[in-house]
Structure 1
Amino acid sequence: MELQGRTALVTGFAGVIGSVIATSLANAGCDVIGVDKVKHDIVRMSIDEIKAESKRNVKYFQCDLINKEDIHKVFQDLKSGDVDILVNAAGRLSINKIEDLSDDVWDEDIGLNLTAPFVLIKLVIGLMKDKGWGRIINISSIMGIKATGSISSYIASKTGLIGLTRAVAVECADKGVTCNAICPTVVDTPYSYWKELRGNKGTFLE
């Protein structure tokens, strides 16, 4: 696929998955728009490294994706039509038994893992259809397909993200726009809670 000159928006830019995706897209010829909640200074080195390696433009927007108003503020400074590729890589995982899961934590997990991708897709999909080209990639999880205990809000949100992906894919099938979900298993990041959840990764995978 020829990506030279395309523009990709990647959420979760400061995370391991998001940063690797952003780097790969830049190296493939895309200009990159990174979005995450951390301050610009924290990702400045990553931005400089991607620019130096790929020779592509890299912009960064600090944004709390749980807050819809924050998302819309990003797009006040950014034309929706500038986004050819949308990668929803931001996510969070909370560990709580169902009886201990607060409404606030549930809302935050659903907000970041499911509602934010919906809002972003809604903002870019119309112009993708008009252009006759667009790529939407949602980073779901193996937990969107399988299940385990104590992460019900994560499982619900990632399962919902797969459903949203299917719905968008069908709706856009004849418009030149594709929508796919990737379902990673355990990824070793600072946000990997598998040891806390199951003692160790081996036990969890069994």
Structure 2
Amino acid sequence: MAEIQESGDKKGKGSKQKKMSIRVDFTPMVDMNMLLITFFMLCTSLSKPQTMEISMPSNDKNITEEQQNKVKASQALTLLLDADNKLYYYEGEPDYDNYASLKETTYEADGLRKILLRKNADAVKKVRELKEKKARLEITEEECKKQIAEVKSGKNTPTVIIKPTDRSTYKNLVDALDEMQICSIGKYVIVDVAEGDQVLLDHYHQGSDAAHV
């Protein structure tokens, strides 16, 4: 509410000029602001954080490296994330005596993604079909999520073991995890690089350097 205060020169006999000062009272606006804040807090839905499901290995120290790598050879894929955005991989059980068993690829669509799609082709096809059914309203969103989870965790789907080295970056790990989602990989874990993996990398680099000399 605004108040108008009049002030005149009472000493001057012939002066008819009056000065007016206006003061605005903002006290009622405080209540209005509180009502608006409360309204928006109750009516606005908070944004939900986007999460990514990650299968982490057990913290049991009795589990040996051999048990961690005991995955069906035809379905296992191990990724070694190294320095300078380098990405190496081997399929099946590691052959630490033969550095040539280690192969190099990239994080691009024609690199890691191509490899994952090849190994997970059946699951990718089924997931695409389920999403199309949901788009046609043949199944609900909950049913779609449930069936997709079952497809991803099927017996014939690959298991990806992601091993970032100390020389890799956080972005490398995020890029690798993104490819897991894009290629519908449901079984993957993040573990530390084994001593044998580091030796394999060192021998690979030595062999590559020797080949370029």
* TM-score scaled by length of structure 2: 0.26
Please say which structure displays the higher CA radius of gyration.
Answer: 2
Q: Please identify which structure carries the higher helix content.
A: 1
> Larger relative contact order (C-alpha < 8 A, sep ≥ 6)?
2
* TM-score scaled by length of structure 1: 0.27
